[in-house]
Every structure is written in structure tokens, then in C-alpha cells.
Amino acid sequence: MMASVLAAKKALRDQLKQRLIALHDFEKLRQSQAVTRKLLSHKRYQEAQRVAVFLNMSDEIQTKDVINDIFRQGKACFIPRYRPRSNHMDMVRLSSVDEINQLPVTTWNIRQPAEGDCRDDALSTGGLDLVLVPGLGFDKQGHRLGRGKGYYDTFLERYMKQIGAKPYTIALAFQEQLCESIPVNNNDIEIDEILCAGDQEVLTN
């Protein structure tokens, strides 16, 4: 059973990656701007004071404008710090928009604070009100297909054990990332809501 789920996930990942490769940069920008507008007017975002957001890869919704708004609104901004050769991820505090370009670049070509860079960690300083989640694919049941490392699932599982409740999660997605169904196993944690361009945002809980 597990092997068949893994094989189905791999096949869907390959399909979604091809969809995203075919997506023109202009269309990525258009959809990113539409998703950003929806998020900034969203009640969950407006009420949140502690927000975790990803620094996007080239095939993900662009988050620069979201990060700018987080600081403009005086919210606390947390970003992922992945530990290489593991599935461990922390959410650590970003001090300003300007410092992003000074952060080291990982092998995934995304920036994050170095391991020895001491920063406030979300789990030890009060948790998070909102986690903005990337991924390759999503379905209307709130299932998410990541890149196979398990970073967000293990982070959310650790969060629930340590804090006692799951933070509200919103996936930011291109329309091309919506799927009829995502193969899942017992370790996959559902996303509360999916925002994308058009009328297809989905409340899953």
C-alpha cells in the first residue's frame, strides 16, 4: 500500500512539474498578484500577528509582496530554515525585508538563515497565528503534495505536540496546481484553506 502511494505521488509530482514548467513568467506574476490580493484582504491574515511565510522558488506563488505587507502591518514574520539531509524544519524570525538578500542560498536555490544564525524560533516564542504553505499540488479535501522531503508535515506534527493545537494553514497556489485528488498516507497533514487566482479558493475544513 505504502509503495503504491509513493509511486502515485512521484507520478503526480512529475506531471505537476511539467505543468509549472509550461507556465509563462507573466502568468506566474499575474496569478501571484491575484493570490496576494486575496490573502491581504483575508480575515485570517488581517487578524494574525505572527505569520510564517515561505521564500518562494521559481515555480511557486511569489511571496515578496506578502512579506512586504507583513512588515508594513507590524506583524512578526517567520520563514523556514530547513536542516539538510533531514526532514527537520524550524520557523525563525526575519528582522526585515532588506535582510533577505543577505541570507545564504541553499542547494534548492532559496535563501534561509544559516544554522548558526541565532534567531527567535516560532515554537519557543509563542507559536504562530497563520502558516502560509507552498507545495506542488493540492486538492479540495485539503490534501497537499509537497516535494517529498516531509518538512511541513513534520513541522506541523511537532508544532501540535509542543503547542497543543495546529496553526491555521493557507496554501498559496497557481490554478495549475489544483488536482482532483492527491494520494496521501498517514503522515500527511491537511491544509485548512487553499487560495488561488480565480474563484477556486477552497475551504477544506
Our measurement of the distance from residue 186's CA atom to the centroid of its chain's CA atoms, rounded to an integer in Å, reads: 20
**What are the backbone dihedrals phi and psi of residue 11, each rounded to the nearest 5 degrees, phi first?**
-65, -40
Instruction: Count Cα atoms within 13 angstroms, Cβ side, for 94.
Output: 27
User: In whole angstroms, what is the distance from residue 200 CA to residue 38 CA?
Assistant: 12
Q: Which residues are annotated as a binding site for substrate?
A: 55, 60
**Beta-carbon count within 10 A of 116 CB:** 5
Query: What are the binding residues for ATP?
Result: 9-13, 144-152
> At how many degrees (to 10) do helices 64-72 and 25-40 cross?
30
Q: Annotated binding site, which residues?
A: 9-13, 55, 60, 144-152
Q: By the 8 A CB rule, do 19 and 13 touch?
A: no
Residues 189/156, Cβ–Cβ less than 8 Å: yes
